[in-house]
Structure 1
Amino acid sequence: MSSAKPEFTEPTLSAGTAALPPLRVAYEDAALDAILGSGDVLAVFGFGTQAPATNADPRYLRVNLEPAGGTAPFEVWRARARVHARRESGIAWASDGDYAFGAIEVAESVHGSVERATEFAYRRLVETIAASDTPHTLRIWNYLDAINLGEGDDERYRRFCLGRAAGLEAHGFADAYPAATGIGVRDGRRVLQIYWLAARSAGTALENPRQVSAWRYPRQYGIKAPTFARAMRAPTQNPQVYVSGTAAIVGHASHHRDDLRAQVAETLANIDSVLAAARIAPAARFGAGAALKVYVRRAGDVEPMRALLREKLPMRTRTLFLQGDICRSELLVEIDGVQDV
């Protein structure tokens, strides 16, 4: 495949698209029941074994990634209108009419492989979103066990990519993908966790001038290239950008093997580049308008990572550190998040 630079779409609202109020994303230390007591809460995420395992409220999901440092605050999504939630046919769903949160968990053992479990999950995902009043997918998070296990095309991440592509392309997503993250958990359960954000109006997918679009990766990265956009500009009047999981990849190649400092610098340069593509002014990037999740592969890198980000990011940047495996075994860190202006 060609490694030419991707084509870009203007990061502005399409004609006739109704601008939505921005979703508010925060990291909160309050009690879970107190957070869920607010009618404007669209979704709440706990992380690791210290977070509540379950809650009767469909808006809560525990993500099977351990926080770096023992415990983590809840990640909270707040909408502008009253949220209604339900759980139906294995899917948790909540919506305020402008935005919708959805989540599905699929045991690989039921389907025989991570590939088939992923295809099943994505078919359910797109069917559910298409049948709703919020039919536009903005962002998807994927968490799967042992992401780097297996050699060559049998690596579990590559099999996941095959299943994801089959589930998306069956419903017309080819070459028009949402932003996404794919991270490896270490719980041994072999349960695929997928959750997403959809909206009443369409966002604008964005690519990074420093990188080949993931869905154009050459064959060396698997039978089917990863199917996601580098970021999604939400359909808001003022820019709100959902940044996909981003690592030290330039073009399509990983850079700076075993060099944490250099990988962090390259990762931040990539995020800066995609925010520039979204026409976010340099002074507005990162800082108080950003909420970042930092996925760190090696436990010994957690404190050096904290120090590096204190050095490189504005003091008011909100960060949440999680331990997890990155989609390529040579990559030590990945960062995703949301940027408001």
Structure 2
Amino acid sequence: MLGAGLLGLQPPAVAAGWPLQHLRAPVLGSNQPAWHEAWQVAEAPLDGHTEGIRWRRAGDLLFGVIELAETPGGADLRTLSTQAYARIFRLLEAQALPHLWRLWNYMADINGTAAGLERYRQFNLGRAEAFEQGARSVVGRVPAACALGVAGGPLSVAFLAGPTAAEPLENPRQVSAYHYPAQYGPRSPTFSRAALVYPPGQELLFISGTASIVGHESVHPGDVVAQTRESMDNVAVVLEQARRHSRSGGHALSELSYRAYVRHAADAPLVQAVMAERVGAAPLVCVLADVCRAELLVEIEAHGLRPL
């Protein structure tokens, strides 16, 4: 076990023996109260704890989790974001595995306001500052990622990294997130729409959190069905871009594993129905979470793995 994510409100019964990111949010539309998403490898990993990061390394694969709690009178979300990413970058350099492939970011009250600025925009400020302080690009060659809001808990960041740069992919239907205009905050989000990466003998495709955005604008306000369809249209376009660069022949929509973040629990059956139309019986987990823009009702991410 290289590392894992735990989805659901129930904490693990015993402490995991590997890096575990607990997404403290209800699983929707399932008789399973919790789900694990596990990253497994063929060799015994090396364990480590560095600056609050729990990590494991197997060969040239590195998975880690860091959680930083917000406390009254303590550092704000911008500062915590900078600290978390700066620590991650120092670990990557120490392990000589400098390239981030995928990140999962979760925080409380993502659409709330503090000190006159939306908390998601505070997070983006801190993340971009850490990238720049670490002499890393904030445009172009950036990792796949998601950023979602949950009811409470710490800033939680999980990451997968390796020795070679991911091949970032963008969506011609959308403005690249790192080029969003200033109306979305003082610093643009630092992520690519998707990324192709190559562990030994494999091709791994990560599709970042994808929502109902065309150009840079949210579309279909108040209509979760239309937003889910638009989100999947965006996923399909990204998948076509990935196919042009793939070494394995590319992935089909039905071959991916999906996670859908749904703002309102009552919308989960509608989201699941649209997903079934588009991807058939592909694995899907729905989680109650807030999307980074208050008008967005659903966000979809996916990944796929193929041998070479």
Same fold (TM over 0.5): yes
Distance 2:84 2:151 in 1: 20
Find out whether 1:135 has 2:98 as its counterpart.
yes
Distance 2:181 2:305 in 1: 33
| 2:222 equivalent in structure 1 | 258
Q: Which string of whole-angstrom CA distances, capped at 9 and with x for unpartnered residues, describes residues 226-265 of structure 1?
A: 1111111012565421011000011100010011111111
SS in 2 for 1:229: coil
Name the amino acid aligned to 1:90: G
- The match for 1:336 is 301
Amino acid of the structure 1 residue aligned with 2:5: F
Cα deviation code 1:74-125 (max 9, x no counterpart): 1111123222222233110001012110111012227421111111111111
Secondary structure of the structure 2 residue equivalent to 1:245: strand
Deviates more, 1:257-266 or 1:76-85: 76-85
Q: Classify 1:241/1:56 alpha carbon distance in 2 versus 1 (closer, same or farther; 3 Å).
A: closer
Residue 235 of structure 2 corresponds to residue 271 of structure 1: yes
1:242-321 matches, cutoff 5 A: 242-279=206-243, 284-287=251-254, 289-315=255-281, 317-321=282-286
Q: Which residue of the partner structure matches residue 68 of structure 1? A: 28
Structure 2 match to 1:30? none
Provide the secondary structure at the position in 2 that maps to 1:95. strand
Offset of residue 55 of structure 1: 1.0
Distance in 2 between residues matched to 1:84 and 1:116, nearest whole Å: 30
Which sits farther off after the overlay, 320-329 or 84-93? Answer: 84-93
Equivalent position of 1:32 in the other structure: none
Q: Which runs of 4+ in 1 moved over 3 A?
A: 236-239, 280-284
3-state DSSP of counterpart to 2:127: helix
Query: 1:42 corresponds to which residue?
Result: 2
Do 2:263 and 2:297's aligned partners in 1 also have CA atoms closer than 8 Å? Answer: yes
The answer on 1:232 being equivalent to 2:195 is yes
Q: Separation in 1 of the partners of 2:205 and 2:223?
A: 28
Contact 1:54–1:61 (Cα < 8 Å) also in 2? no
Are 1:88 and 2:50 matched, yes or no? yes
Report the TM-score, using the length of structure 1 for normalisation. Answer: 0.82
Cα offset, 1:49, TM superposition: 2.2
What amino acid is the match of 1:165?
A
- Given that 1:294 and 1:336 are in contact with CA atoms closer than 8 Å, whether structure 2 keeps it comes out as yes
Aligned to 2:63: 101
Aligned counterparts of 1:270 and 1:307: Cα–Cα separation in 2: 18
Q: Does the 8 Å contact 1:207/1:231 carry over to 2?
A: yes
CA drift of 1:56 comes to 4.9
Identity, in percent, stands at 36
- Measure the CA separation in 2 of the matches of 1:57 and 1:96: 15
8 A contact 2:4–2:18 mirrored in 1: no
Is contact 2:242–2:250 with CA below 8 Å preserved after alignment? no
CA distance in 2, matches of 1:165, 1:292: 27
Cα separation, 1, equivalents of 2:121 and 2:12: 31
**Structure 1: gaps (5+ residues):** 1-40
Checking the alignment, whether the CA contact within 8 Å between 1:264 and 1:333 is kept in structure 2 is: yes
**Structure 1 residues 168, 111: closer, same or farther in 2, change over 3 A?**
farther
Task: Indicate how the Cα distance of structure 1 residues 106 and 308 shifts in structure 2: closer, same or farther if over 3 A, else same.
Answer: same
After superposition, the C-alpha distances for 1:275-313 in whole angstroms (9 at most, x for unaligned) are 1111169984122x3111110000110112112211221
Q: Does 1:202 align with 2:165?
A: yes
Q: Provide Cα deviations, 1:27-67, integer angstroms capped at 9, x if missing partner.
A: xxxxxxxxxxxxxx111221222241661523333222221
Counterpart amino acid of 1:334?
Answer: E
Q: Measure, in 1, the Cα distance between the counterparts of 2:13 and 2:131.
A: 30
How many angstroms apart in 2 are the aligned matches of 1:152 and 1:275? 39
Alpha-carbon distance between aligned partners in 1 of 2:168 and 2:174, rounded to the nearest angstrom? 15
Aligned residues of 1:64 and 1:185 also touching (Cα < 8 A) = yes
Q: Normalised by the size of structure 2, how large is the TM-score?
A: 0.90
Unaligned runs of 5+ in 2: none
Counterpart residue number, 1:29 = none
2:86 counterpart SS class: helix
CA distance in 2, matches of 1:53, 1:197: 25
Q: Name the counterpart of 1:156.
A: 119
Does the residue aligned with 1:300 lie in a helix, a strand or coil? helix
Residues 68, 234 of structure 1: alpha-carbon distance in 2 compared, 3 angstrom cutoff: same
CA distance in 1, matches of 2:74, 2:172: 38
Residues 56 and 291 of structure 1: is their aligned pair in 2 closer, same or farther, counting only changes over 3 Å? Answer: closer
